Amino acid sequence: MYTTELSKQPNVQSIEDPERLAAFEARVAADEFIEPKDWMPEAYRRTLTRQISQHAHSEIVGMLPEGNWITRAPSLRRKAILLAKVQDEAGHGLYLYCAAETLGTSREEMIEALHSGKAKYSTIFNYPTLTWADIPAIGWLVDGAAIMNQVPLQRTSYGPYARAMVRVCKEESFHQRQGYEAMTSLANGTPEQKRMAQDAFNRWWWPSLMMFGPPDENSPNTAQSLRWRIKRETNDELRQKFVDITVPQAEYLGLTVPDPDLKWNEAKGGYDFGAIDWDEFYAVVRGEGPVARERMTARREAWESNAWVREAAAAHEAKRRQRAAA
Amino acid sequence: MPSLPPIRPEDVATAEKIRPDGAFDAPSDAHDPVRAGYLLRLGDDSLILGQRLSEWCGHAPSVEVDLSLANMALDLIGQATLLLGEAGDADSLAFKRDVLDFRNCWLVEQPNGDFARTMVRQLLFSTWQHMLYQRLTGSRDEALAGIAAKAVKEVAYHRELAAEWVIRLGDGTEESRERTLDGLGWCWRFVPELFEVDDEVEQAVAAGIAADPREFEAEYRAEIARVLGEAGLPVPNDQRPILGGRRGHHSEHLGHLLAIMQYLPRTYPDAKW
C-alpha cells in the first residue's frame, strides 16, 4: 500500500561524507540494489524505514475491514477466498516488517509507533465495509491501486524491499482479479446486488484515487525519492494510469463512475477527471477517517489484551533453555 | 399410483452387512441416509470450528499467530466444502439449515474465549480428528477415504500446533497457566461426546464407512494426558457427559454463530454470489 507520509518528509539534505554519498548515489543511479550491510545515507535509511513500516502497518490494519466480512461471506467458496486473501495480507505485513527490521528498527518499535499514532498507515482503511459488495470493491479498486503503486517498487533501490514486492505483487494481482470476479457476480445479479455494487463503487472510487497521495505540486520530496529510486513514478502519473485502466472495467460491469466530470481526452490519450477532495484526504491522514478510531482500538486491543500470550511464550522459551542447559 | 415404502437406514445397513465380499461396489450414493448423516457430522464439525477460528482474523496475539489461525480456519472450511458436497449441496447445507439440523459436536461451537481456551479446544478436537481421519483413510467409501487422506495431513499440523501452544501456555507464566486451566475446565465437559456411538454411527461403522471412535479413546486420553503433563497441567476430572449435538441439540452459542454466518444467503435467497 502506498505511504502518504513519503511526501511529507523533512528536507533530506544531511551532513554525510560527500565521497561515500557520491558513491552511493552512483550505485543507485546505475540501478544497483542497496543491501542491509551497505553504507547508506541516514536520510535514505529513515525514509525507507518509514515507508516500509507504513506499508507493513497498512497490510495489518487492512486485515480489519476485510476480516469484518469473513464470518458473513455468502458462500463457502467466497469464505475460503476471503480467508486466504486476508491471510496473504498478514503474510505481506510479516515480510515487510522483516524487510524494515533489516534497516535497524525492531518490530516492537514499529508496532509501538503505530499504536501511539506516530506512524501512519494507508488512509483507505479508515473507511467502513458496510455491505458484502465492499469486499469485491476493495479487491478490485484498493488492491488495484496498490498494485499500481507496488509494481514499480519491485525495482526500488533497497534490495529487501524490492524482493518482498515481487511476491506481494503476485498475490495482489490475484486479489484484484478475485475482487473483479466477485464484483461481476453482483453486477450481473439481482437488483439488490446491483444496488450494493453501485453503492460500494460510489464509496470506494474517490478514496482509491487518494491512495496515490497528494498531487505532484504538493509533493515536494518526490524528486529526491525518485532520484534515490525509492519511488519510480510520480503520484499523478500513477493516478492517471489507474483511472485509465479502471474506467473501462467499470463500464464493462455496467457501473457508473461517480464523477460527472469524467471524460475521455483524445489529445492526452487518457481520461480527464473531477477534482479530488483533498480536505477529506488530509483529514483522514490526521486520523479523522470515519472508522479510524475503531481500527486503532482493534489493533491496540489485539496487541494489549494478548500481551500475556507473548509473555508466556517468552517465559516458556527461557525455562526450556534453562532446563536444556541444566 | 401406488407409492413404494421408504428405504429405511436399517435396511441399507443390513443389505451392506450381508453383501458377500467381492460383490459389486455400487458408486457412492449421496442419498444413502447413513452415509449422508455421517458426512454431515464430519462436515459440520469442520465448518463450525472453521467459522469460529475465522473470528480471530486480525485480532490474534501476533502476526504469526494470526496466520496460523487463519490457515487452520481455511483448512477446515475446505474440509467442510468437500464433506458437505458429498452429503448434498454444500452451500445449501451450510447456509440454509437451522440449529436442529446441524450435526456438529458441542466442543466446536464453543465461543473462542481467550487464546488459551481456543488452543485447548483445538488440542481436544484436532487430536480426536487426527486419530479419526487416520482411520477414515481406510473407509470403504472412496470419496470419504480420499477426503480423509487429504485432510489428515492438515489436521496433523493443527494437532501439533495446538499441543505446542498448550505446552507453552501451561508452562509459561502464572497468568497463562491459570487461563489454560480455565480453558480446559470449559472444554473438558465436551470430550465424551466425541466418543459417543449412537445408532447412526453404529450403522455407518457396520457399513464400513465410519470408524468407531471407541477404538482410539484410550490412545486419545493417553495423548492428551501426555501433552497436559508436558504443560504441567493436571488432567481434569470427568463429569457427566454433555451430549446432543449429533442429534441437533446444541448449546445456545450455535444459533448466534448461524445467524451471522447465514445472514446474506437468507436475506437474499435468490442471489448468486
Region B34-45 average pLDDT: 98
Residue B51 with chain A: CB contacts under 8 Å: 71
Region A266-282 average pLDDT: 97
Q: In this complex, do B70 and A87 lie within 8 Å of one another by their Cβ atoms?
A: yes
C-alpha cell of residue B150: 487429504
CA of B265: which chain A residue's CA is closest? A74
- CA separation for the pair A312, A307 (Å, rounded): 9
On whether residue B1 sits in a domain, the answer given is no
Q: B238 — contact with chain A (CB < 8 Å)?
A: no
Are residues A185 and A193 in contact, defined by beta-carbon separation less than 8 angstroms?
Answer: yes
Which of B56, B64, B77 is most worth mutating to test chain A (most A CB atoms within 10 A of its CB)? B77
Which of B48, B49, B71, B74 is most worth mutating to test chain A (most A CB atoms within 10 A of its CB)? B74
On whether residue B118 sits in a domain, the answer given is yes
Q: A133 — contact with chain B (CB < 8 Å)?
A: no
Residue B232 with chain A: CB contacts under 8 Å: none
- Per residue in A73-93, pLDDT (tens digit) is 999 999 999 999 999 999 999
The predicted structure's pLDDT at residue A185? 98
- Asked whether residue A4 carries a pLDDT value surpassing 80, the answer given is no
- Taking a contact as any Cβ pair under 8 Å apart, which residues of chain A between 205 and 224 contact chain B? none
Query: Reduced to 3 states, what is the DSSP secondary structure of residue B203?
Result: helix
CA of A192: which chain B residue's CA is closest? B268
- Per residue in B88-123, pLDDT (tens digit) is 999 999 999 999 999 999 999 999 999 999 999 999
- CA separation for the pair B140, B126 (Å, rounded): 23
φ, ψ at B29 (rounded to 5°): -120, 110
Q: A147 — contact with chain B (CB < 8 Å)?
A: no
- Per residue in A5-27, pLDDT (tens digit) is 444 444 545 578 899 999 999 99
- Measured in angstroms, the CA of B67 and the nearest CA of chain A are apart by 6
Say how many domains are in chain B.
1
On whether residue B6 sits in a domain, the answer given is no
- Taking a contact as any Cβ pair under 8 Å apart, which residues of chain A between 10 and 69 contact chain B? 60, 63-64, 67
Q: In this complex, do A90 and B70 lie within 8 Å of one another by their Cβ atoms?
A: yes
- Per residue in B54-91, pLDDT (tens digit) is 999 999 999 999 999 999 999 999 999 999 999 999 99
Q: In this complex, do A313 and B80 lie within 8 Å of one another by their Cβ atoms?
A: no
Are residues A312 and B173 in contact, defined by beta-carbon separation less than 8 angstroms?
Answer: yes
Domain span at residue B131 reads: 14-266
- Measured in angstroms, the CA of B85 and the nearest CA of chain A are apart by 11
The domain spanning residue B131 has which CATH number? 1.20.1260.10
The predicted structure's pLDDT at residue A94? 95
pTM: 0.91
On whether residue B2 sits in a domain, the answer given is no
On whether residue B7 sits in a domain, the answer given is no
**DSSP collapsed to 3 states, chain A:** CCCCCHHHCCCCCCCCCHHHHHHHHHHHHCCCCECCCCCCCHHHHHHHHHHHHHHHHHHHHCHHHHHCCHHHCCCHHHHHHHHHHHHHHHHHHHHHHHHHHCCCCCHHHHHHHHHCCCCCCCHHHHCCCCCCCHHHHHHHHHHHHHHHHHCHHHHCCEHHHHHHHHHHHHHHHHHHHHHHHHHHHHHCCCHHHHHHHHHHHHHHHHHHHHCCCCCHHHCCCHHHHHHCCCCCCCHHHHHHHHHHHHHHHHHHHCCCCCCCCCEEECCCCEEECCCCCHHHHHHHHHHHCCCHHHHHHHHHHHHHHCHHHHHHHHHHHHHHHHHHHC
Cα distances (Å, whole numbers) of residue B170 to A318, A321, B55, B154, B254: 14, 16, 24, 24, 29
- CA separation for the pair B141, A206 (Å, rounded): 54
The predicted structure's pLDDT at residue B6? 54
- Asked whether residue B140 carries a pLDDT value surpassing 60, the answer given is yes
On whether residue B228 sits in a domain, the answer given is yes
Query: Reduced to 3 states, what is the DSSP secondary structure of residue B40?
Result: helix
The half-sphere exposure of A267 on its side-chain side, counting CA atoms within 13 A, is 1
Q: What angle do CA A281, A249, A167 make, to 5 degrees?
A: 70
Looking at every residue in chain B, the average pLDDT score rounds to 93
- CA separation for the pair B220, A60 (Å, rounded): 38
Q: In this complex, do A75 and B66 lie within 8 Å of one another by their Cβ atoms?
A: no
- CA separation for the pair A139, A176 (Å, rounded): 5
Give the closest of A84, A97, A298 to B59, CB-based.
A298
Other Cβ atoms less than 10 A from the Cβ of B240: the count is 7
Q: In this complex, do A76 and B63 lie within 8 Å of one another by their Cβ atoms?
A: no
Q: B46 — contact with chain A (CB < 8 Å)?
A: no
On whether residue B273 sits in a domain, the answer given is no
- Measured in angstroms, the CA of A191 and the nearest CA of chain B are apart by 9
C-alpha cell of residue B241: 457427559
Q: In this complex, do A311 and B175 lie within 8 Å of one another by their Cβ atoms?
A: yes
On whether residue B87 sits in a domain, the answer given is yes
Element at B231 (helix H, strand E): none
- Measured in angstroms, the CA of B56 and the nearest CA of chain A are apart by 9
Report how far Cα B50 is from the mean position of its chain's Cα atoms.
10
Closest CA to B70 of B91, B55, B85, B92: B55
Q: What angle do CA B19, B24, B30 make, to 5 degrees?
A: 85
Are residues B77 and A79 in contact, defined by beta-carbon separation less than 8 angstroms?
Answer: yes
Query: Reduced to 3 states, what is the DSSP secondary structure of residue B233?
Result: coil
φ, ψ at A271 (rounded to 5°): -90, 145
Other Cβ atoms less than 10 A from the Cβ of A171: the count is 17
C-alpha cell of residue A212: 496515490
The predicted structure's pLDDT at residue A10? 46
The predicted structure's pLDDT at residue A6? 44
Using CA of residue A269, residue A270, residue A275, residue A281, what is the dihedral sign? negative
Q: In this complex, do A83 and B54 lie within 8 Å of one another by their Cβ atoms?
A: yes
CA of B51: which chain A residue's CA is closest? A71
Are residues A311 and B168 in contact, defined by beta-carbon separation less than 8 angstroms?
Answer: no
Residue whose cell numbers read 488440542: B123
Neighbouring-strand partners of residue A271: A264
Q: B74 — contact with chain A (CB < 8 Å)?
A: yes
- Taking a contact as any Cβ pair under 8 Å apart, which residues of chain B between 125 and 154 contact chain A? none
- CA separation for the pair A272, A79 (Å, rounded): 38
Are residues A302 and B60 in contact, defined by beta-carbon separation less than 8 angstroms?
Answer: yes
CA of B90: which chain A residue's CA is closest? A76
- Asked whether residue B23 carries a pLDDT value surpassing 60, the answer given is no
Element at B234 (helix H, strand E): none
The predicted structure's pLDDT at residue A138? 98
- CA separation for the pair A182, A185 (Å, rounded): 5
- Measured in angstroms, the CA of B234 and the nearest CA of chain A are apart by 18
- Per residue in A129-145, pLDDT (tens digit) is 999 999 999 999 999 99
* Rg, C-alpha atoms of chain A: 21
